[in-house]
Chains A and B, each alone.
Chain A
C-alpha cells in the first residue's frame, strides 16, 4: 500500500543549528513533493515544492532535496530560530484527481 512516513518523534534543536526533517514514501511515483508548515490551531501553509527532476530546491533558509531512487525527501532549516518551531508536513500528489496525500508531520522545537 502507499505510505508517506515522517519522523514521528519531535525534533528538538538549539537555536542557530540546522534542522533536518525526513520524509520517506513507498509505492508512489510522484512528479513532485511539497512541504508545508502548520502552527497549533492553524491550517497548513505551503512552503516549497520540488519536482522529480530537481535534486535540490532552496528558499531563504530552507532547503529541500528529493531523491526518487531512495524515495526520500529531506527538509533543512539552516540557522534555525525559535520562530521556526512548528509541525512540518510533507505531501505527495496521488492519483488522477489531483489530491494531496500528507505524512503525519514532524514537530520541530527550536530552543533559544
Chain B
C-alpha cells in the first residue's frame, strides 16, 4: 500500500478483555516500530522489529503486551487483560532499513485508538 495501515482505527475494550492491533507497513520496509502515545504526550517506544526478528522490546510496559511479526511484514500488537491505563493511541511505523540509526525517514500510520472502560 501507499502508506502504513493500522486497524482497527478505534477500539473500545472492557477491562480484562484481550485486544489485537494490526499494522501493515509500507511494502518492502524492513524495520517496524510500535509506539504508545498518551494524550498530550509524545510517542513512547514499545518495540522494534527488523524483518521477523524482534530486536528490542524494552519499551513494552508489562508481560501483558506482546508483539509479533512472523513473516517479516504484517505485525500484531496484542494486549492481554486490558486495564484502564492501557488507554492510548498505538502507533505503528516503518522504515526501509536500519531504523533510526541510519537516519532513514520513518513513516507512521494513523494509529489505533484504544479506550479501556
Question: A residues touching B (Cβ–Cβ < 8 Å)?
Answer: 4, 6, 31-32, 34, 41-46, 49, 51, 89, 91, 93-105
Contact = CB atoms under 8 A, between A and B. Distances in A.
How big is the B interface, by class?
Answer: 20 to 34
Nearest first, the 3 closest Cβ-Cβ pairs linking A and B are A98-B99, A43-B108, A102-B42
B70 interface: no
Nearest to B3: A43
Given A42-B110, A44-B108, A98-B48, A93 B42 contact: no
B42 A89 contact: yes
A104 to B, nearest CB: 4
Contacts of A97: 48, 55-56, 99, 101
21 contacts: A4-B42, A6-B42, A31-B101, A34-B106, A43-B4, A43-B93, A46-B105, A46-B106, A49-B103, A91-B100, A93-B99, A97-B48, A97-B99, A97-B101, A98-B48, A99-B99, A99-B100, A100-B45, A102-B43, A104-B40, A104-B42
Nearest to B44: A102
Given A43-B108, A97-B55, A98-B48, A31 B103 contact: yes
Interface in B58-82: 59
Contacts of A103: 42
B31 interface: yes
Contacts of B91: 43-44
A97 B98 CA distance: 8
Contacts of A6: 42
Contacts of B41: 104-105
